[in-house]
Structure 1
Amino acid sequence: MPIVSSSMPERLRDGLDTFADEHGYTGRSEVIREACQSLLEEYQETDYEDRRVLATVTAVFGYDEPEIERRMMDIRHEFEVSVRSNSHNCLEKNAGCVETFVIEAKYNVVLEFIATVRGVDESVSVEYTAVPVNVMNVEAGEPFEKSAE
C-alpha cells in the first residue's frame, strides 16, 4: 500500500491516536483511511444529484473566535442566493458558538457550501441534513419547479 504524508496540528494527531486506541483500530492510518473513504462516499453521486434540496448545516466552534465568525458571514454572502436562513447562537457559559444555515439549492451547490464551511478552520465541527424539495402549487395541486442557479 502506498504511503501518503499529511500535515496536521499536534492536537488532531493526538486525537487520532486516542480515537484509534479507544476504538480498536490498529493505528492512525486505519482511522484516516476510513475517514477518507467515508468523506469520498459522501460526495459520490446520490439520488439527489441534479435535484433541489433543502439542507440544514450546523457549524460548532469555539466562543470568541472573531476570524471564524467573519468567515461564516463571508460564506453567507458568497452563497446568499441559496441561504434561506442563518442564525448565530452562543452556548451556555460561553462553551462555544453554533452557526446554523438553511440552504435551498441544487445538491451540488449544497455540497460546495458544506465543503466551504468545513474549510474555515480545522476546529469547526460541521453536521448537515438534506432532503429533496418537492414544492406543490397548493391551488393547482401541480408540482412547482424553481429555476436553477
Structure 2
Amino acid sequence: MGDMERISISIPAKLLKEFDEVIAEKGYASRSEAIRDAIRDYIIRYKWLQSMEGERAGSVNVIYNHHSHEVMQRVIDIQHDFRDLIIATLHIHLDKEHCLEVILVKGDAKKIKELANKLATVKGVKLVRVSVMAPGGHIPE
C-alpha cells in the first residue's frame, strides 16, 4: 500500500462500539482497514451522486434523531423548497429517538442532488441515501 497518513478522529463511544462489533463480524484485521473501506465507499457514493445528470426518479431516504433541536421542522422546510421535485413522502418511527423519512422524487438530477445535500447538512440528520433510476428503468452509471 502506498504512502500512509496518520489521522486522529473523535467518535461517540456508542458509535465506536457498534463499529467494532461490525468489523469483528466482517472479519477485518483492524479498525484502520475497516475505516479505509468505509471512506472508499463514501467517496464512490459521492462521485456516483455527483455524476448523475438528466431526468431521474427514485427516493431520498433520511434517518434523523427527532429529539435534535428543530430537525423535524428543518427537514420539512427543505422539502417545501423542493415541492416541484417531491412526489410523496413516507414517515416511519424507527425507535424512541429516530425517524425515517422516505422522499419519492422525480425530476432533474441536479435538483435531487441539491435536495440530498441540503438534508445531509441538517444537524440531527444521521444518514441520507439517494436511490434513483433514469427513465425507462436504466440504472445510471
> Is the TM-score greater than 0.5?
yes
Aligned pairs for 1:46-65 (under 5 A) are: 49-62=52-65
Is structure 2 residue 89 aligned with structure 1 residue 86? yes
1:113 aligned to which of 97, 115, 120: 115
Match among 24, 40, 45 for residue 42 of structure 1: 45
Distance (Å, rounded) in 2 between the aligned partners of 1:74 and 1:35: 31
RMSD of the alignment, in Å? 2.9
Residue pair 1:53, 1:133 contacting (<8 A) in 2 also: yes
The residue number in structure 2 matching 1:29 is 32
Fraction of identical pairs, as percent? 23
Judged with a 3 Å threshold, the aligned counterparts in structure 2 of structure 1 residues 76 and 20 are, in CA distance, closer, same or farther, namely same
1:15 and 2:5 aligned: no
**1:6 and 1:21 mapped to 2: Cα distance?**
20
1:79-129 deviations in Å (ceiling 9; x for gaps) = 2332222232435x8684331211223223323322333333566344432
Q: Any stretches of 5+ residues in structure 1 without a counterpart?
A: 135-149
Question: TM-score, normalization: structure 1?
Answer: 0.68
The one of 67, 70, 73 equivalent to 1:70 is 73
Distance (whole Å) between structure 2 residues aligned to residue 122 and residue 113 of structure 1? 16
How many pairs does the alignment contain?
132
CA contact 1:62–1:96 (8 Å) conserved in 2 = yes
Compare relative contact order (CA 8 Å, sep 6+) and give the higher one, 1 or 2.
2
Contact 1:61 1:124 in 2 (8 A): yes
Larger Rg: 1
